Amino acid sequence: MHDLSDILNSCFEHLYKIENVKYADEIPNIRKDYYAEQWKVITDIDVNGQVKEIELYFGFRKSFPYTLPDVYFPSKTFGYLPHIESVGGKLCLMPDGASYPIDNPYEIIRYCLKQSKELIGQGIKNENVSDFSAEINSYWRRKYDGEPKTSDYWLIYENFPVETCVLRALRYNQNILGAKKPKTITRALLLPKDDEESNIERYLKYHHKAMETEVLFVKSVTVPDKAPYSLTLQKLLECASSTEDHKAIKSFINTGHGGIIVFQLSETSMGGIYIDKVNTKKKGFRNNKLTACDLLLRFEKKNQLLERQYGSLYSSRRIAMRTAGIEMPKQSFIITGLGSIGSNLTYFLSGWNNANFTLIDEETLQPENIGRHLLGFHYIYQSKVDAIADYLYSVRPERDVKTYNDTFQSVVTNDNESVNTHTALFLCTGDVMTEKFVVDALCEERIKLPTFILWLEPFGIAGHLVYINPEQMPENFNLYNNEERMLYKYNLLEPTEYLAYADRFIKRDAGCNGEYSLYSGNDVTLLLSALYPYINQLIQQPQQSKCYRWVGNIDIAIEKNIKLTVDPALINLGEVQELNL
C-alpha cells in the first residue's frame, strides 16, 4: 500500500519552490472530511497580455495518484466558465475513464495545475464558449446563483414535436432504491396529445397509476450561448423567436394561472420552466383585471427566477443508436414454455433492440421454480406469461408483448395465422408431446416459421438445440431413436439409462404434475451462453435444418456411473457439436 503522506509531502516541497502553495483547512463549499489533504495555490494567468491572480484549491483523495486531484476555482469574478461547475467551482480536467502514468505523482499535480490555468484562461477570453452549446445537457442541469434547483425528472417519448403544441404529461411516482426510509419521487413522460394509447402509456397507468396533465411545448425557443441559464418569464419570451409562440406562452400561463413550458435543448434533451400557481388578486386592482402574465412581467415577480426543468428523449431509435449503433432488423419471437430455459432465453433475446414477443405458457411460477428461473420471489404464484411480460415491460415498456395463458397446441389450433407472422418460434417446454405436435405441424405446413427446440438432459449432462428451417427440411426426418419412448436420437445419456433408471433423473414434488429434472440454474446459463451465438446467427441467416449438442456435466455422469452414448474421453466440457438433423 502506498504511503500517501510521504508522496504528498514530497510533491508539496517540489511545488513550493515554483508556486505560492500552502496547506488549506478546507475548500469553500466542500465537505471538510471529503479529502485526505487540501492545498491552496495562488498563481497567475495571462489574459490578453494582462497578468491575473487566481486562487485554486487542490483536494487529494486517499487513492491519489490512482485518482487525479480535484481542482476547484470557486471565484465568480469572471462569471460562469465552461468546464467549471457552477457550485463549488470544480474543474473538469480529464474525460471519465482516461488513463495516465502514476510513476511521477508530482508531474500529475503539475499537469493538473497547467490544465486548470489553460481552461480558466480560455474561458475568460471566450475561446471555448462554444462548449456551452456542445455540452448543453451538462450546463443546463447545473444550479446558478439565486435560482431554485433544476428538476430533471422528465422524459419525452419518441420524437420532439415539429411545431408548438400542447402535450400530455403522464406523472407517476418512482420508488427510490437504497433509501434508508421508503421514498418516492415524481417522474413524468410527455406524449402527443391526440395519439392512441401506447404500450408505454398503458404500462405507466397500470403499474404506476400515472395521472395526466398538460404541458406546452414551444418550438422556437433557443437558449443563450453561455451560462447562466436561469430564467424569468421575460427571459423565456426573449428566447422565443416567434410572435405566435409568445401568444401561445401567455395564453397557456393565463389559462392555467401557471404551468409547465418545455422546449428542445439538443437532439436528445429538453429544457423548460415551471410556474407555480399565480394568485391574480392584487390590492389596488378591481374586478380581477390582472392576468398571471401581468403579475410575472410587470410587478415584483418579474425578476423571480423560475424553476428550470430538464428531460431526455426516450425513443427506440435513440436506444438502438446507443447500443448497436443501428436499429436492428425488426424481430418477432414466440417463446412457448417459460420455465427455466424459456425464461432465461427471453433475457438473451431481449438484447435485440427491435424485438417483440409472444409468450405462451399455462403455468404459474411456484416457490420451487425460482432456483433456476429468470424471475424470483416477487413473482411467486403469478402467471408465468404475465410475469415475464412484466419483466420485459419493466426494461422497455414501449415494446409489444402478447401473452397466452394456454398450451401451445391450443394457440396454434385457434390462431394459426397469427403464429406464422413471427420471425421464429422457440419451444422450451421440455415436453415431448408438444415437440411432436410442432414437428408434425411443420411437416404439414401448419407452422411455417423457423423453429428452435431447446432442452437440458438430467444433471445438465448435455443440452440440445434442434433448429428446423421449414424452407429447407429433409424429407421424413425423425428426432427419435425410440419411437415408443420418443427418446431423442442425440441424447448423451444412453437410452437404457432412461428406460431402466428413470427415478435417478426425474424427481416428483407434491402433486401428480410435479415431475422435474435435476439440473442447476448455472447449467441453464452455461447452456444458453454456449448456444445463443448459433441462435443469433440462424435468426439473421437461416440455414439448413440441423442439431447442436452442448456437452455439460460429464464429470457427474462418470461419478454416478451413468452410461453415455459417447466415450467421455472424446468430449470436453462446454464444447458444442453440430449434428445432422
Task: Please write the tens of the pLDDT for every residue from 128-175.
Answer: 999 999 999 999 999 998 899 999 989 999 999 999 999 999 999 888
Asked if 154 contacts 310 with a C-beta cutoff of 8 angstroms, the reply is: yes
Instruction: Copy the grid coordinates of residue 26.
Output: 478546507
Q: What is the pLDDT of residues 41-91, one digit of tens each?
A: 999 998 888 888 999 999 999 999 999 999 999 999 999 999 999 888 999
C-alpha triplet 441, 447, 450: angle, nearest 5°: 115
Phi and psi (nearest 5°) for 176?
Answer: -90, 115
Q: Which of 290-294, 356-360, 392-396, 403-407 has the lowest mean pLDDT?
A: 290-294
Residue partners of 289: CB distance under 8 A and separation at least 6: none
- The amino acid at residue 110 is R
Q: Identify the pLDDT of residue 513.
A: 46
Tell the residue number behind the cell numbers 441424447, with chain if given: 491
Q: Identify the pLDDT of residue 512.
A: 42
Helix then strand count (H, E) for the chain reads 18, 23
Residue 503 CA from chain centroid, whole number = 45
Q: How confident is the model at residue 181 (pLDDT cuts 50, 70, 90)?
A: confident
Q: How confident is the model at residue 321 (pLDDT cuts 50, 70, 90)?
A: confident
Give the C-alpha separation, 69 to 35, whole Å: 9
Domains and their CATH numbers in the chain:
4-128 (3.10.110.10), 145-314 (no CATH), 325-580 (3.40.50.720)
Among the listed residues 292, 218, 226, 202, the one whose alpha carbon sits nearest the alpha carbon of residue 254: 292
Among the listed residues 189, 179, 178, 177, the one whose alpha carbon sits nearest the alpha carbon of residue 153: 189
Q: What is the pLDDT of residues 199-231, one digit of tens each?
A: 999 999 988 889 999 999 999 999 999 999 999
More confident residue, 341 or 3: 341
Q: Identify the pLDDT of residue 505.
A: 61
Global pTM reads 0.82
Q: Which of 16-30, 467-481, 523-537 has the lowest mean pLDDT?
A: 467-481
Q: What is the pLDDT of residues 227-273, one digit of tens each?
A: 999 999 999 999 999 999 999 999 999 999 999 999 999 999 999 99
Among the listed residues 13, 6, 15, the one whose alpha carbon sits nearest the alpha carbon of residue 108: 15
Q: Which of 6-15, 130-139, 277-286, 551-560 has the lowest mean pLDDT?
A: 277-286
Q: How confident is the model at residue 482 (pLDDT cuts 50, 70, 90)?
A: low
Q: Is the confidence at residue 417, as pLDDT, over 90?
A: no
Give the C-alpha separation, 369 to 366, whole Å: 5
Asked if 26 contacts 32 with a C-beta cutoff of 8 angstroms, the reply is: yes
Residues pairing with 355 in the sheet: 331
Q: What is the pLDDT of residues 485-522, one digit of tens each?
A: 778 899 999 988 877 666 666 554 544 444 556 788 99
Q: Identify the pLDDT of residue 2.
A: 65
Across the chain, mean pLDDT equals: 90
Q: Identify the pLDDT of residue 501.
A: 63
Please state whether the peptide bond connecting residue 224 to the residue before it is cis, i.e. omega within 30 degrees of 0. Answer: no
Instruction: List strand residue ranges (DSSP E) for 120-258, in order.
Output: 151-157, 165-175, 184-192, 211-217
- The amino acid at residue 394 is S
Q: Identify the pLDDT of residue 511.
A: 44
Q: Identify the pLDDT of residue 280.
A: 78
